[in-house]
């Protein structure tokens, strides 16, 4: 089967577009519909990376677009959950700070013609964010799932911080060259 080189990028763009309907569904308390769309977005993250690597469809635009789509998708949903579910804003601020810090690192390295690759710790961070968000989406109508979502949110904050530190430690020398 031949897959066009832009398919992974279309999946990343789809993740960005899905963000707004997911939030609107959450606000109108259609949580299972929101969860369904959210899972499509999360699956698109896995699928775009899989296709890009396994089918050799990796592109420089994809290396930038995929993490950007992740940030828009995840940050928007966490910010919405501050209002909708009352999760602590400081947890979300830590996530946002790390995302902007690593994006800044990516921009600095891109200016030096170096594309920052995704590290395993960053992939774990993204996975933990998706798990936390999935449980929190269902959790607005089920305290048990909300509590599980909050546990994963704390795990997410820890993995978010550690992955951000790992990126800076690993690429600090490249920034200063």
For residue 84, give Cα distances in angstroms to 80, 105, 130, 157.
Answer: 6, 32, 17, 19
pLDDT one-digit tens code per residue, 40-71: 999 998 888 788 777 777 777 777 788 889 88
User: Does 29 map to a domain?
Assistant: yes
The domain in which residue 169 lies consists of 7-175
Instruction: Answer whether residue 132 is part of any domain.
Output: yes
Q: Give the number of residues written for the chain.
A: 177
Tell me, yes or no, whether 1 lies in a domain: no
**pTM recorded for the entire structure:** 0.87
* Low pLDDT (below 70) residues in the chain: 1-5
154 CB-side CA count, 13 A: 5
Q: Is residue 2 part of a domain?
A: no
CA quadruple 122, 94, 134, 132: dihedral positive or negative?
A: positive
Asked whether residue 13 is domain-assigned, the answer is: yes
Q: Are 30 and 13 in contact (CB under 8 A)?
A: no
The pLDDT of residue 2 is: 46
Total structural domains in the chain?
1
Question: Could you tell me the CATH number of the domain that includes residue 86?
Answer: 1.20.120.1760
- Per-residue pLDDT, 52: 77
User: Does 110 map to a domain?
Assistant: yes
pLDDT at residue 62 in the model: 78
Give me the pLDDT at residue 3, please.
Answer: 53
Residue 103 within a domain: yes
Q: Is residue 152 part of a domain?
A: yes
């Amino acid at each position: 089967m031949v897959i066009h080189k832009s398919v992974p990028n279309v999946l990343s763009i789809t993740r960005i577009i899905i963000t707004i309907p997911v939030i609107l569904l959450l606000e109108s308390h259609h949580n299972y519909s929101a969860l369904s769309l959210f899972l499509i977005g999360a699956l698109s993250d896995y699928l775009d990376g899989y296709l890009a690597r396994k089918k050799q469809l990796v592109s420089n635009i994809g290396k930038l677009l995929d993490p950007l789509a992740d940030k828009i998708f995840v940050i928007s949903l966490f910010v919405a959950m501050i209002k909708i579910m009352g999760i602590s804003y400081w947890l979300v601020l830590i996530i946002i700070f790390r995302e902007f810090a690593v994006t800044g690192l990516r921009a600095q390295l891109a200016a030096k013609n170096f594309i920052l690759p995704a590290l395993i710790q960053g992939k774990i961070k993204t996975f933990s964010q998706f798990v936390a968000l999935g449980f929190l989406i269902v959790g607005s109508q089920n305290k048990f799932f909300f509590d599980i979502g909050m546990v994963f949110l704390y795990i997410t904050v820890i993995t978010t911080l550690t992955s951000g530190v790992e990126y800076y430690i690993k690429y600090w020398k490249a920034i200063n060259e």
